[in-house]
Structure 1
């Protein structure tokens, strides 16, 4: 067996391990994802306003960690940064499980956010090193589907474990979450060493020696016009899409649409089911499509989802009819997510030179916590104002503009970034 064949075999094994680790970790995430504010306020007796500040601070910490993790990944290796990030997540989650006062809770949430900010950009870059270019859209989409399946199963299980009257039930799910994250870190350490991307690119010094100082670091990334355009587009998609999905959408549905928490839970379960069932068929259907068309379709579907959400509060729709429309709205949103996932993971790695892959993935990942800072603040002002329906109007306009922006982005993307290469027969 040649050295190339050995490397390819190790890369395939590493990819399978990253997929298994994603599933295991997502099961733990699903147990705890809906409950952070509830846990801090109800079980840890943190005032709701203070708990909100803690969560907001965690977003800032996550962005800072992402910015630092990008250069560290390029310097020390993406696999090593993935292990460090997962270890920090596991430690922070275990800290939450142990209990304590508000400062200890804030520290735990900050450690989790820092770990998350380091781990997930590193994982995206690592997968790009494990999987051939032609197979990357399917790989990123498959990981997204597996992650959602794990979160969905964990979320269902949490309903049988967690009870508001028993703080120990919260501590149990956080302890399980910490354990599953630690297992993922162990899989990376034991199974991925020696695979492409785990350690620094061996040509990194040659790349640096051949480039002018002004072309290094984040400055080199931000002078990439195509990538900067992609960043701005994804930030808009996050602000008017993902950032509106959890808190703002649920608040509008319950307060304006008079939906019960059960209806909200069913809507999110349907959202996850659509992602799991549709992800691979969508990848097969769209494997020859332009990536900017996929981004435009994502934003357009989300715009339709928000229109449906607004329709659900009309006086003509009440009771069961309104509930069905709300569930359909999140189903449409989930379908849009299946068009987004093959692009969001692949695009930074397609545009990035190998020695800057960590920084490209870090900046791409930073759009999510930044969007989660801007989006909920904007939603809070509108939903708390005299005309909450203005929230729907704004996010419909925002996603529609994002769809147009995606089409415009297609004019500046290089040809190799617009279309995924044709897959060769799997070896």
Structure 2
């Protein structure tokens, strides 16, 4: 094995270790941001949606800045700085006594996250050879969800609306694990491929910029599909879903914790199998499958909330819904990191990853206010109908994208 490949795989293992550590802390808090803002700090649901949306705008702006910065200083340095900001924002959430201080924490957290996610995706592409990337992205996503699942299961026992201090505790733990990941990146990866700009970046001389990226029509089409998945998928999962279950559907925080544990258990159990079976499947079809399976998860959520179901049966329905959503995520994980990095030239890798990752804060800007309006409008099941329709449309758009992707991207190498 070449020296660069050996060093890259060693760095990839460090990246996996940091991912697992930080995911344990993130799993403690992931389902509860809307609940924390609304039920503990007293913010109305619409205000909670606006807080998350405003933080997403700042995250989106910092993502646009982070692309050129990452191409100039190196992806590893960008990831380390982002983790420091993310940990500081989570620390503010842990100390928050009002919605306004929490809003500052949300903003700082999302600014940091907008740098971390694209930088780590780009780092994996630098660390791992092309023919191994699909499995590398799937492995990292599986470990990420293993940590989140363990944290989510624990949070079901630790967190209670009747004990506001429990929310401060879990956000404090989350801040600590994020800080540990920052140390692993800043110290453990400082000599690894991608930490600093490589020779290929210097040879390119910084040419191109975002204009060159946006002239890539295949990539722009991918961005639109990814944005729709963000609006109708993850933006609804990370907050509105838990608010729907604990609010109009009458569920408990324990049900939410178990559901997120089931979500991540499904990912951990089937992720590598799905990656192996679908390795030669067209990338556009995997995107369409993601949207349709997520739509099924939201349909199950709506069915579990019907008046005829209650108690244990409703709880089982909610848990099953997020398990199904997790299966959909396993179709997306090899594509979400793989397609942007397969399309990106090395000297623009950070910009490609920044724009790809910017679809999530942009989805977070659109999705939570939409959810807040639907959930607070007197007919909360309308939220399910709108989200399912959006995902069906996204699946159709993904199939159209397959006509634009280059053959070597649409059908990755064995």
The one of 254, 277, 286 equivalent to 2:278 is: 286
Deviates more, 1:27-36 or 1:108-117: 27-36
Deviates more, 1:179-188 or 1:382-391: 382-391
Instruction: Compute the displacement of 1:405 (Å).
Output: 1.3
Q: Is residue 188 of structure 2 the alignment partner of residue 191 of structure 1? A: yes
Aligned partner of residue 67 in structure 2, secondary structure: helix
Instruction: Compute the displacement of 1:265 (Å).
Output: 3.2
CA distance in 2, matches of 1:45, 1:259: 19
> Matches of residues 202-281 of structure 1 in structure 2 within 5 Å?
202-208=199-205, 216-255=208-247, 257-281=249-273
Instruction: Compute the displacement of 1:110 (Å).
Output: 2.1
Runs of at least 5 residues in structure 2 that lack an aligned partner in the other structure: none
Aligned partner of residue 200 in structure 1, secondary structure: coil
Which residue is equivalent to 2:394?
402
Q: Is residue 145 of structure 2 the alignment partner of residue 144 of structure 1? A: no
Instruction: Compute the displacement of 1:394 (Å).
Output: 2.2
The one of 6, 23, 29 equivalent to 2:26 is: 29
Q: Is the 8 A contact 2:31 2:256 kept in 1?
A: no
Q: Is residue 84 of structure 2 the alignment partner of residue 87 of structure 1? A: yes
CA distance in 1, matches of 2:339, 2:265: 25
TM-score normalised over the length of structure 1: 0.88
Which residue is equivalent to 1:200?
197
Q: Is the 8 A contact 2:32 2:242 kept in 1?
A: no
TM-score normalised over the length of structure 2: 0.91
> Matches of residues 13-92 of structure 1 in structure 2 within 5 Å?
13-40=10-37, 51-92=48-89
Instruction: Compute the displacement of 1:309 (Å).
Output: 2.8
Aligned partner of residue 203 in structure 1, secondary structure: helix
The one of 92, 103, 106 equivalent to 1:106 is: 103
The one of 7, 29, 36 equivalent to 2:4 is: 7
CA distance in 1, matches of 2:99, 2:256: 29
CA distance in 1, matches of 2:179, 2:73: 21
Runs of at least 5 residues in structure 1 that lack an aligned partner in the other structure: 423-427
Which residue is equivalent to 1:336?
328
Deviates more, 1:139-148 or 1:165-174: 165-174
The one of 345, 356, 369 equivalent to 1:353 is: 345
Q: 1:312 to 1:107 in 2, by over 3 A?
A: closer
CA distance in 2, matches of 1:164, 1:388: 21
Instruction: Compute the displacement of 1:126 (Å).
Output: 0.6
Which residue is equivalent to 2:175?
178
Deviates more, 1:311-320 or 1:356-365: 311-320
CA distance in 1, matches of 2:168, 2:310: 39
Q: Is the 8 A contact 2:31 2:239 kept in 1?
A: no
Q: Is residue 405 of structure 2 the alignment partner of residue 413 of structure 1? A: yes
1:78-115 per-residue CA deviation (whole Å, 9 max, x = no partner) reads 01101111111222233344456655443333222211
Instruction: Compute the displacement of 1:244 (Å).
Output: 2.0
Instruction: Compute the displacement of 1:387 (Å).
Output: 4.2
Instruction: Compute the displacement of 1:358 (Å).
Output: 0.5
What's the RMSD between the two structures over aligned residues? 2.5
CA distance in 2, matches of 1:407, 1:39: 38
CA distance in 1, matches of 2:301, 2:40: 32
Q: 1:379 to 1:47 in 2, by over 3 A?
A: closer
Aligned partner of residue 241 in structure 1, secondary structure: helix
Which residue is equivalent to 2:124?
127
Deviates more, 1:146-155 or 1:66-75: 146-155
Q: Is residue 309 of structure 2 the alignment partner of residue 312 of structure 1? A: no
Q: 1:153 to 1:385 in 2, by over 3 A?
A: same
Q: 1:419 to 1:36 in 2, by over 3 A?
A: same
Q: Is residue 382 of structure 2 the alignment partner of residue 385 of structure 1? A: no
Instruction: Compute the displacement of 1:344 (Å).
Output: 0.3
